Amino acid sequence: MRKPLPPRQDALWWWRHPAYRRYMLREATALPLFLYALCLLYGVRELGRGETAFQAWLAFMESPPLIALQAVALLAVLWHAWTWFQLVPKILVIPTRHGTLPGHWLRLAHVVPAALCWLLLPLLAWWALGQFAGGGA
Interface residue with another protein among 60, 62, 102, 112 (CB under 8 A) is 62
Interface residue with another protein among 9, 64, 65, 104 (CB under 8 A) is 9
Interface residue with another protein among 14, 60, 107, 109 (CB under 8 A) is 14
If one asks whether residue 135 binds another protein (CB under 8 A), the answer comes out as yes
> What is the pattern of x (binds another protein, CB under 8 A) and - over residues 111-130?
--xx--xxxxxx--xx-xxx
Q: Minimal distance in Å, beta carbon 44 to another protein? A: 5
Q: Minimal distance in Å, beta carbon 88 to another protein? A: 9
25, amino acid identity = L
If one asks whether residue 41 binds another protein (CB under 8 A), the answer comes out as yes
Distance CA 111, CA 88 (A): 10
Interface residue with another protein among 64, 65, 90, 104 (CB under 8 A) is 90
Q: Minimal distance in Å, beta carbon 107 to another protein? A: 12
If one asks whether residue 63 binds another protein (CB under 8 A), the answer comes out as no
Give the burial class of 81: count Cβ atoms within 10 A of its Cβ; 0-12 exposed, 13-18 middle, 19 or more buried: middle
121 φψ region: left (φ > 0), alpha (ψ -120 to 50), beta (else): alpha
Report the alpha-carbon angle 49-73-132, nearest 5. 45
CB atoms within 10 A of CB 83: 15
Q: Are 60 and 66 in contact (CB under 8 A)?
A: yes
If one asks whether residue 104 binds another protein (CB under 8 A), the answer comes out as no
